[in-house]
Amino acid sequence: MDFSSSEWERAVAFHGHSCPGLAIGYRAAKIALRELAAGRAGDEELVAIVETDACGVDAIQVLTGCTLGKGNLLYRDYGKHVFTIGDRKTGAAVRVALKSGGRKEDEAYRDLRARIFSGQATTVEKELYGRYQQQRLQHILEAPEEEIFKTEHVKLELPEKARLFNSVTCAYCGEPVAEVRARVKEGRYACIPCAESYSRGWGATV
C-alpha cells in the first residue's frame, strides 16, 4: 500500500493527522470500492453504513464520497470497526469488518497508551508510543488483506435517498427546525431541545 498515494494524503489532510484508526477506514474503503467496481460517489450513488464513530470514518467519507451532509453516510452506534458500502446502481453491497487482533495490540501497548492518555507518560514513553503507532499503521496498510479484515458481499436494504423538508420556527427559541424533527409543546412548534426542557418542577422550592 502506497503511503504517498493522493487518496491517503487527502484522507490524512481531512482527518488532520495519520493514525492507525484512519488506516483502518482507508483500507476498508479501498477494499469495498474494489469489490463493488465503483468510484467515489459525487452524489448519492453509494451508501455507507458505519458501526463506529472512530477515526476510520473520515477515510470512508473521503474515499467513498459518502457523507453525513449528503445523507448517504449512516451511523450505527455499535462500537465496531465495520463498514458496509452499497451501490444504488447495481444493488450490490460489501461488508468489511476488522478482525480480532487486526490492530496488533498487546498488553505492553495498552499499558503505554493508558499512561499517554492519563498524562503520566515520560518523554521517552511518548517517543516509544509514537513508534508503536507508526508500526501499527504500517501493519494495517501493508499486511495481507485477509489477515486484517473479513470481507463479504451482503444483501442490503438500501435506504431511500435523502429528502428535503420544510422548516418551521420554534416558538421558544425562534430558530428554524426541519418540520419532520419538530415537536408540539403547549400547542406550538418546538425544536427538540426546547421540547425536552420540561422538568415537572423537580427541585423547585416553595
Report the run of H or E that residue 162 belongs to, with start and end: none
**Listed range (4-8, 10-14, 95-99) with the worst mean pLDDT:** 4-8
DSSP one-letter code for 59: H
Q: How does 84-120 read in b/e, with b if 16+ C-beta sit within 10 Å?
A: bbbbbeeebbbbbbbeeebbeeeeebeebeeebeeee
Which of the four CATH numbers 3.40.50, 3.30.60, 3.40.630, 3.30.70 does domain 164-206 have? 3.30.60
Position with higher pLDDT, 106 vs 44: 44
pLDDT at residue 160, rounded to an integer: 76
pLDDT at residue 198, rounded to an integer: 56
Q: Distance between CA 147 and CA 38 in Å, rounded?
A: 24
Domain residue extents for the chain = 6-101+144-153, 164-206
Identify the architecture of domain 6-101+144-153 in CATH: 2-Layer Sandwich (3.30)
